[in-house]
Copies of this chain bind each other. A is one copy, B any other.
């Protein structure tokens, strides 16, 4: 039996749940993945998994949203107004905590990934950074002075408003709220609708990727000018198209036009705009880091 402290992490996604038990070094003892079905069934599977590990000291949950993170709120730890059927107003943190008799730390999936990248990933050496995920949606979070940003609710960087050159790109965008915001123009579904095929089926030399890089760079420039991060980590399904990274870096430098005079941007941008250190495990390892952060 392990003598080191063990923690549990739950990557609570709209499509799948990933649960893991690990220690403070980031070593994972066991992981399990199952589909997100009804809340009753999915949370019961989660509870059954962690009941095998009586030495777990706390659980961290990085959840799809929207979620209630307001300390002291009667619905803290709930998934709230999600469009996902059956999951509206579900008490995720309370259900797990009561069944397992453990403290539960709860945050957005993005904020959990931020914690994971800080602890074991690509942000270990910086105090101010942003993590963006580009996939079905676009989400962003980060740390300032080594603390998570929450504020009023949490950042919603996917919905930044950007210049839209209608002559170059007449596509109106897919965001039901804002049309041509960042998510409306550059998410996975935007690529599918604009080009008639998912990104996976477009070759690396397709013009889709120059346009995609331009929108992502516009978003990054606004984030850089607002937060002054020391690093930007870009993950999610769309960023598996690795040809995007050099295009985005070049576009960010062109758009800033030398205004931010810092070697991180002028000379070392390969390190400044980077894939996640934890790759596809950023979600569940972030949830594990979240569990540890509450102790």
Q: Is A44 engaged at the interface, CB distance under 8 Å to the other chain?
A: no
Number of copies of this chain that the complex holds: 2
Q: Is the CB of A152 within 8 A of B178?
A: no
- How far, in Å, is A75 (CB) from chain B's closest CB? 13
Q: Is the CB of B229 within 8 A of A152?
A: yes
| Distance, CA A15 to CA B180, complexed state (A) | 41
Q: Residues 132-151 of chain A: 1 if any B CB is under 8 Å from the residue's CB, otherwise 0? A: 00000000100011010111
Q: Nearest B residue to A180 by beta-carbon distance? A: B163
Q: Is A243 engaged at the interface, CB distance under 8 Å to the other chain?
A: no
| Distance, CA A224 to CA B264, complexed state (A) | 26
Q: Is the CB of B227 within 8 A of A227?
A: yes
Q: Is the CB of A152 within 8 A of B128?
A: yes
Q: Is the CB of A153 within 8 A of B259?
A: no
Q: Is A157 engaged at the interface, CB distance under 8 Å to the other chain?
A: yes
Q: Is the CB of B225 within 8 A of A155?
A: yes
| Distance, CA A158 to CA B144, complexed state (A) | 20
Q: Nearest B residue to A265 by beta-carbon distance? A: B152
The residue among A151, A177, A227 with the most chain B CB atoms within 10 A of its own CB is A151
Q: Is A100 engaged at the interface, CB distance under 8 Å to the other chain?
A: no
Residues 52-80 (chain A) with a chain B CB within 8 angstroms: 66
Q: Is the CB of B147 within 8 A of A261?
A: no
Residue numbers in B under 8 Å from A118 (CB-CB): none
